[in-house]
């Protein structure tokens, strides 16, 4: 530290903003700022800090000031190994110190949240199955979800369901079983209506009632209601509450964008998708934001721009939903060869490429204008009715 009172003030405020932001993550235990401040300005051994405070990760950093500019560096350290799992720097002007603190806190949280999750998942996967409790079952399930195959989603659902057998109201597992069903339905791996879908809709409603202050449960369960039950208003209410609880939750913004795109509210959808991408540009679920942006541009009649987002969603692992959307855009743009490629991918994935099959997958309350535009593109691409 330099002894500069302004810099001292900025650093204190910055630490408090970041601590408050990270503490909003319901699955993470965060040491209060008063305890962490005991290490301020001192050389520290992160392993000793871990022992003193009982933590697995340490977020440390520094501030440098020159005239009206500041540069903040930060790194997230796994104290069990000493490995840096994230590092970055942020530059800004001190014209509005409070706005700068908010921006940096949001950026730090958006960057480290997926890194923390991935580190915890890898730790759980390394543990022997016999010793897993509900938490570790959940983490193993979450790791499998990101692989997005029919087999891994089925296994992820079973693991999350086992976690609920241990603790029937375990919030993360309640959210994850619903998310598995959403992904399975979107890829036509389970049918609707079905007992599986009905069960998850009931679970989503129960999860929202039981866990009103758990942002992760709220955004997932909200999207389950919107997508599987066609209750977009109720779903958006839950997702918006999640965002109030945690304004840095990228996935909540991504699914919010997708619902708004289905409801033919393109500009709001694009704004939400952009916020999701700003908060977590490398998120495993980033294809949701790209898909939402593409659908929003399509409903606004901007087919070329929509196609670039559809292709991006494909590259990010969007699977058959992204390919199907790409196919509609190929029809609108007259891209015959690209449309044939989409057909081939859908056939190889055993996805029924018919108008009726596509319509069965949409939320029940999707905008007729959106559905009409989408189906028109499929027909132009040569997709049969049945």
State pLDDT tens for residues 103-155: 777 777 776 777 777 676 666 554 443 335 788 888 889 888 888 899 999 99
Looking at the DSSP assignment, which residues form a beta bridge with residue 61?
Answer: 74
Give the model's pLDDT for residue 161.
92
- Could you tell me the pTM of the whole model? 0.69
pLDDT of residue 52: 80
Give the whole-angstrom CA distance, residue 304 versus residue 291.
14
**Overall average pLDDT of the 322-349 stretch:** 92
**Which has the closest alpha carbon to 19: 124, 112, 139, 129?**
112
Is residue 85 within 8 A of residue 96, CB to CB? The reply is no
Q: Is 78 helix (H, G, I), strand (E, B) or coil?
A: strand
Indicate whether 345 pLDDT > 70. Answer: yes
Higher pLDDT, 30 or 218: 218
Which has more pLDDT, 100 or 295? 295
Domains and CATH numbers, the chain: 5-111 (3.40.50), 261-386 (1.25.40)
Q: Can you tell me the distance from the alpha carbon of 144 to that of 125, in angstroms, rounded to the nearest whole number? A: 10
pLDDT above 80: residue 375: yes
Query: What percentage of the chain exceeds 70 in pLDDT?
Result: 87
Mean pLDDT (the chain) is 83
Confidence of residue 1 (pLDDT cuts 50, 70, 90): very low
Q: What's the rounded mean pLDDT across residues 336-357? A: 87
pLDDT > 90 in the chain, percent? 36
CB 100 within 8 A of CB 94: yes
Would you give the DSSP letter of residue 193?
Answer: S
Q: Which of 331, 335, 334 shows the shortest CA–CA distance to 355?
A: 331
Distances (CA, A) of 138 to 109, 114, 159, 196, 204: 22, 16, 7, 19, 17
pLDDT band at 6 (very low <50, low <70, confident <90, very high): low
Lowest model confidence (mean pLDDT) among 81-85, 184-188, 258-262, 271-275: 81-85
pLDDT at 237 over 90: yes
Mean pLDDT of 234-251: 91
pLDDT for position 337: 93
Q: What is the pLDDT of residue 10?
A: 60
Query: Phi, psi at residue 301, to the nearest 5°?
Result: 85, 10
> Taking Cα atoms as reference points, which of 236, 235, 174, 161 lies closest to residue 26?
174
**Residue 306, pLDDT score:** 96
Q: Is the pLDDT of residue 3 over 60?
A: no
Calculate mean pLDDT across residues 147-169. Answer: 91
């Amino acid at each position: 530290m330099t002894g500069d009172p302004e810099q001292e003030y900025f650093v204190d405020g910055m630490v408090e903003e970041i601590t408050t932001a990270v503490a909003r993550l319901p699955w993470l235990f965060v040491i209060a700022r008063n305890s962490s401040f005991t290490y301020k300005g001192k050389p520290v051994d992160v392993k000793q800090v871990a022992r003193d405070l009982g933590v697995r990760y340490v977020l440390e950093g520094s501030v440098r000031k020159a005239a009206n500019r500041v540069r903040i560096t930060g790194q997230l350290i796994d104290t069990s190994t000493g490995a840096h799992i994230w590092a970055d720097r942020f530059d800004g002007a001190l014209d509005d110190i409070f706005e700068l603190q908010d921006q940096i806190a949001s950026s730090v949280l958006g960057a480290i949240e997926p890194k923390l999750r991935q580190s915890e998942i890898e730790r759980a996967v390394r543990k022997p199955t016999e010793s897993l409790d509900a938490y570790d079952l959940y983490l193993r399930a979450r790791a499998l979800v990101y692989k997005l195959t029919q087999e891994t989603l089925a296994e992820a659902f079973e693991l999350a369901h086992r976690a609920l057998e241990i603790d029937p109201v375990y919030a993360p597992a309640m959210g994850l079983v619903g998310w598995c069903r959403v992904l399975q339905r979107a890829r036509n791996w389970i049918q609707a209506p079905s007992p599986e879908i009905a069960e998850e809709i009931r679970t989503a409603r129960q999860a929202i009632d039981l866990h009103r202050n758990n942002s992760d449960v709220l955004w997932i369960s909200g999207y389950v209601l919107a997508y599987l039950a066609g209750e977009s208003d109720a779903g958006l209410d839950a997702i918006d509450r999640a965002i109030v609880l945690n304004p840095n939750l990228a996935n909540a913004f991504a699914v919010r964008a997708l619902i708004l795109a289905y409801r033919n509210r393109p500009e709001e959808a694009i704004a939400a998708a952009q916020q999701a991408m700003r908060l977590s540009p490398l998120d495993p679920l980033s294809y949701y934001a790209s898909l939402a942006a593409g659908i929003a541009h399509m409903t606004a009649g901007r087919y070329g721009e929509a196609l670039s987002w559809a292709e991006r969603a494909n590259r990010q692992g969007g699977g058959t939903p992204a390919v199907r959307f790409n196919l509609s855009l190929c029809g609108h743009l007259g891209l015959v060869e690209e449309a044939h490629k989409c057909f081939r991918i859908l056939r190889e994935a055993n996805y029924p490429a018919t108008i009726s099959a596509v319509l069965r997958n949409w939320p029940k309350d999707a905008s007729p204008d959106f559905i009409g535009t989408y189906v028109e593109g499929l027909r132009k691409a040569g997709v049969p009715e049945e």
